[in-house]
Structure 1
Amino acid sequence: MVHGRLSDLTERVREFARDRDWEQFHTPKNLAMALAGEVGELLAEFQWLTPEQSAAVMSDPELGPRVRAELGDVMIYLVRLADTLGVDLVDAATGKLADSARRYTVEAAKGSAAKISQ
C-alpha cells in the first residue's frame, strides 16, 4: 500500500496517463528509460558546479527552478514506474534503508564513503 501524499501523487500520475491514453506506452522498459533520461537532465544542471555552488543551487534564481523542475520529472517517472510494476515505494525504500543499516553500521561506516561489500 502506498502512503499519504505519495498515494495521492501516484493516483494523479496514473489518471494523467490514463486520460491521455498513454498507458499503452508506459511499459516498465519505457518508463525506466524515461526516468534515466530525466536523471541525466538533473545531472546536467549540476555538471560544472563547484561543491559549494551545488550546495546552494536552490537559492540561485535561475538554476533553482530548473533543478526543482527536473526533480519533479524524476519523481513523476519513478512513481509511474513503481505503480506500473506494483511496487510500494515507501516499503521498497524502508526495506533498502534497513538493509543498508545492517551493512553500514555506524561503527563501520561513520565518516567514510567507502563501499562495504555485501
Structure 2
Amino acid sequence: MEKHLNIDELNKLIKTFCEDRDWDQYHNAKDLSIGIVTEASELLQLFRFKSNLEVDNMLTDETIRTEIGEELADILFFILRFAQKYNFDLSYELNRKVEINEKRYPISEYKGSNKKNTNDK
C-alpha cells in the first residue's frame, strides 16, 4: 500500500476505520490524549539508553526502522483521530503555532541554539 495521502484524506481514512469498528464510544478527548502519550512513550522506549552512534545505526537497520515507523504511525493515528473527532484543523493549528514560534524564537537570537525561551507562556 504505497499511497501518499494529504491530511484531509488521512482524516477520512481514520474516521472510516474507527467508525467501521464502532470505536467512537472509546475515543474521547482524555483517552485519545492517553493514546498519544502511550504511543510516544513506545517510540521513546526504542531510543532509551542509546548513544547517538547506536541511534544512527538503528536508523539504518530496516527492521528497527520498521518498528520506528509503526510507532510514528500509531502516534499520528491518535493525533489525527483527536483532531478529526473534535474539529481541529491541523494545518491551521500548525501554521498558527509556527507563526507564534517565529516571534518567540527570532533567528537573530536562536539560530544554532536549542535554548528554551522562558520569557513568556
Match of 1:68 in 2: 69
Cα distance in 2 between the residues matched to 1:68 and 1:58: 10
State the Cα RMSD in Å.
1.3
1:114 is displaced (CA, Å) by 1.1
Report the CA distance between 1:56 and its aligned residue: 4.5
Q: Which runs of 5 or more structure 2 residues have no equivalent in the other structure?
A: none
- TM-score scaled by structure 2? 0.89
Partner of 1:46: 47
Paired letter, 1:35: I
Larger CA deviation: 47-56 vs 66-75: 47-56
Q: CA deviation at 1:91?
A: 0.7
Take 2:57 and 2:101, find their aligned partners in 1: how far apart are those partners? 28
For the 8 Å contact 1:38–1:73, the answer to whether it is kept is yes
State the one-letter code of the partner of 2:49.
W
* Match in the other structure for 1:109: 110
Percent of counterpart pairs with the same letter?
26
Q: Please name the residue that 2:31 is paired with.
A: 30
Question: Which structure 1 segments of 5+ residues have no match?
Answer: none
Alpha-carbon separation, structure 2, partners of 1:110 and 1:77? 32
- Runs of 4+ in structure 1 displaced over 2 angstroms? 52-58
Residue 53 of structure 1, CA deviation = 2.8
For residue 58 of structure 1, report the CA deviation from its aligned partner: 2.7
Partner in structure 1 of residue 78 of structure 2: 77
Deviates more, 1:74-83 or 1:43-52: 43-52
- AA at the equivalent of 2:88: V
Return the alpha-carbon distance in structure 2 between the equivalents of residues 19 and 42 of structure 1. 27
What amino acid does structure 2 have at the position aligned with 1:68? Answer: G
Figure out how many residues of one structure are paired with residues of the other and give that number. Answer: 115
Give me the whole-angstrom Cα distance separating, in 2, the residues matched to 1:68 and 1:40: 14
- Asked if the contact 1:58–1:65 (Cα under 8 Å) also holds between the matched residues in 2, the reply is no
